[in-house]
Structure 1
């Protein structure tokens, strides 16, 4: 029964969710390629341009928690449809910006529109999968990120070469062609996505009953409480995880935002060639996202995997900043990217050790909201250093420091979560002692 239920859920949900987040991540990261020409047209410094990233993530952070609360109220199908339709339209309209403030406004509105999608899916998965499956499923979901770069970077590099086609610049084509799929998929989502296991026709009554029984047993095992969504926001474990998680998006977005600029600095490359080279690290990220969560689920303790991934990220970034050989630089940045991305699915299993229901929705949203501020400050920190030193590679040291802090902080996170927070007693692992199917 377990194998049948999990196989049916995985094949029905995960490919579609991966597709949706792939489109979202392309829409979020397309500005890195548009930067190569848009920055010159608007006359922005590196630090000023990255303020657009800060505007995106500030809006994203502010509206994350309300979005996840509304997700619980309106259901995943309708709420995800609203999110996708709005972010697709905003991305398309970004092609019309002509001033600095219009650019900042467009990035802010994109953050507002997309807020809640990623943490919403993380919460959505807790309604379908027992704890022992979640690292792997979040890993599968996050596979969208490397796929977005593997497929999207060459695509956006080619779009950047359409300068003058139909009277539009290449950066305008990037925004139009990456925003349109989200609008189309919004209507597909409204048609196909279920709100939860209850009543879906592709699960038998017995399979739905097994999922409900497993999730109820886990909630009982960890002594879950229900109540106001604001209660989770006061839990020191939630606050600590939010600050800890901040280091990972800071590294991920700092690297992805500046990678096209770093590779472009190799010299003599077309935009299409730059797109293919910048996709290389994300091939290794895809492998890491498959292997690391799977091993973490089977190994029991998640914390050694978290510390190891953070350390790998720091070491790879440091090495790429020190060497001068371009091939070695790309190889080291590939290792760093594996550490930056592969640790995140493991991290996202931790909130469900002590949060359920509406408190899980708000707690996950807060962790993601605060953590994703690093997505704005990572690129901005590199931008400030780049403006002062003239080298984007030098700015990587800012990311090295963040991942070194995360490596050390992992052990404090372990003591805090395993010792209990302010709102509940020490949780015990809700997973039954058996090998995952």
Structure 2
């Protein structure tokens, strides 16, 4: 197995560069492989990094999807209808994809700490401004700007986590970061339900959902400048020897993988292209389902808004548990492909209950939606472990940006398609059937990826 660094004289202090990163000299008793990285370092990093990035993503996703709950109140506005919701929810991603690739390069080459501060302050201001829209055009404009403001956060954080976790722990780290998504639904649903009931200072409850839920992003954006650390070598909260060992382990995994590619080569790289298509199809399903879930439940049951928001949280409670179990199983077995494909098939099975079987009771519909929850995000930790098995350095960062850019176009297509089909057919069954087909296709495409051995 390759050594992480070469033994030099004990008093050596110089660092040489590898792929744009420092590769430190090490002492004789330092780790030699990523498997030998001491548990105390791994646990220390996890406890320091993961809770905070989890909190950041909870806030990010809450501001991204709270429109699905605000739609219950917006439905009373004369300018609002299903097509406005579908287009407005989706246009977020048109703005979002514009800065995906540049953001990942900035995080890799400059500073995650400073760039994430910029992103969060921008989107916090725009998210709160959503509470003051009075027309469909204003709704579209601010949703587009919200996407521009938040652009690069998710792929940037994927790259950032790869600076701190080796392949051995990467799926678990991604899962603990990504459970912020179902968790944001779980807390956002009842919280938004409560805001829908208020009428403060003459403003409707749906406006307060946007105004209040944008404030945490502003606060955390400022705190990022003190609480995020760019690289292990910069971590004052680690012992010097631990900093060197962790940085050496991260650098060693990058060796032997392409770190730079010409621009056109990304479009020809088989793994990157397949991952882009898989992610596009999966995102069509996750956002097409998530944005329309409260509205589907309202149309089917006729329950009060607050009851709807509580029901809408249940699939994501299931998702919370399944994401953690799936990531643990993936890291334990070392498998990525099956742990990516199977959840997509499970989601398709859940969508079939609302589209193919035409259930007539709320209980059966919720069973199907909870099956969707079991699969909708469970594939993510394994999926985002795959790019690093084929590329490294800037090439891996750019590939993550490209995958999220193309994939997140599905965040426009899925919600808009659902809204258009509902307006055309006056039913959500056809839309769910289309999303079902997308998930099956995504799951099958996973097996078009050539297995790549993990770094050791």
TM-score by length of 2: 0.88
CA distance in 2, matches of 1:51, 1:337: 24
CA contact (8 A) 2:259 2:396 kept: no
Match of residue 13 from structure 2: none
Please report how far the alpha carbon of residue 266 of structure 1 lies from its aligned counterpart in structure 2 after TM superposition: 3.6
Are 1:60 and 2:96 counterparts? yes
Deviation at 1:231, TM superposition (A): 5.0
From the superposition, tell whether residues 94 and 336 of structure 1 become closer, same or farther in structure 2 (CA, over 3 Å). same
SS at match of 1:269: coil
**1:192 pairs with 2:227:** yes
Provide the residue aligned with 1:264 in structure 2: 298
1:361 and 1:374, CA in 2 relative to 1: closer, same or farther beyond 3 A? same
Q: Does 1:301 align with 2:335?
A: yes
In structure 1, what is the equivalent of residue 148 of structure 2? 112
1:242 aligns with 2:276: yes
1:91-106 pair list within 5 angstroms:
91-106=127-142
Contact 1:135–1:346 (CA<8 Å) still a contact in 2? yes
Question: Who is 1:407 aligned against?
Answer: 443
What is the correspondence of 1:173-212 to structure 2 with a 5 Å cutoff? 173-212=208-247
What residue is the counterpart of 1:384 in the other structure? 420
Q: Deviations over 1:288-340 (max 9, x none)?
A: 11000110111122111222111111111102332222112112211112212
Q: In the alignment, what sits opposite 1:424?
A: none
- Counterpart in the other structure of 1:435: none
Q: How far apart are the structure 1 equivalents of 2:400 and 2:174?
A: 13
Cα displacement (A) at 1:342: 0.2
**1:312 has 2:346 as partner:** yes
Q: Do structure 1's residue 326 and structure 2's residue 351 form an aligned pair?
A: no
Which residue matches 1:48?
A: 84
Residue 32 of structure 2 is aligned to residue 7 of structure 1: no
Could you tell me whether the CA contact under 8 Å between 1:233 and 1:366 is conserved in 2? no
Distance 1:57 1:234 in 2: 24
Distance 2:140 2:102 in 1: 22
Distance in 1 between the 2:201 and 2:304 partners?
21
Question: Cα offset for 1:135?
Answer: 0.9
Which residues of 2 match residues 203-242 of structure 1 at below 5 A? 203-220=238-255, 222-226=256-260, 232=266, 234-242=268-276
Q: Is the 8 A contact 1:90 1:109 kept in 2?
A: yes
**Given the alignment, which residue of 382, 395, 403 partners 1:346?**
382
3-state SS in 2 of match to 1:119 = helix
Count of aligned residue pairs for this structure pair = 418
Partner of 1:126 in structure 2? 162
Name stretches of at least 5 consecutive residues in structure 1 with no aligned partner: 419-426, 433-437
Cα distance in 2 between the residues matched to 1:246 and 1:238: 12
Which residue does the alignment assign to 2:309? 275
Distance 1:178 1:389, change over 3 A: same
Say yes or no: does 1:361 pair with 2:383. no
Say which one has the larger Rg: 2
Q: Root-mean-square deviation (CA), in Å?
A: 1.7
Range with greater deviation from structure 2 (263-272 or 380-389): 263-272
**Alpha-carbon distance between aligned partners in 2 of 1:398 and 1:171, rounded to the nearest angstrom:** 30
Given that residues 32 and 258 in structure 1 are in contact (C-alpha distance below 8 angstroms), is that contact kept between their aligned partners in structure 2? Answer: yes
Runs ≥4 residues deviating over 3 A: 222-234
Specify the alignment match of 1:429 in structure 2.
454
Q: Who is 2:189 aligned against? A: 153
- Distance in structure 2 (CA, Å) of the matches to 1:3 and 1:387: 55
Contact 2:65 2:291 in 1 (8 A): yes
Conservation of the 8 A alpha-carbon contact between 1:42 and 1:98: no
Offset of residue 70 of structure 1: 2.4
Which structure carries more helix by proportion? Answer: 1
CA contact (8 A) 1:229 1:358 kept: no
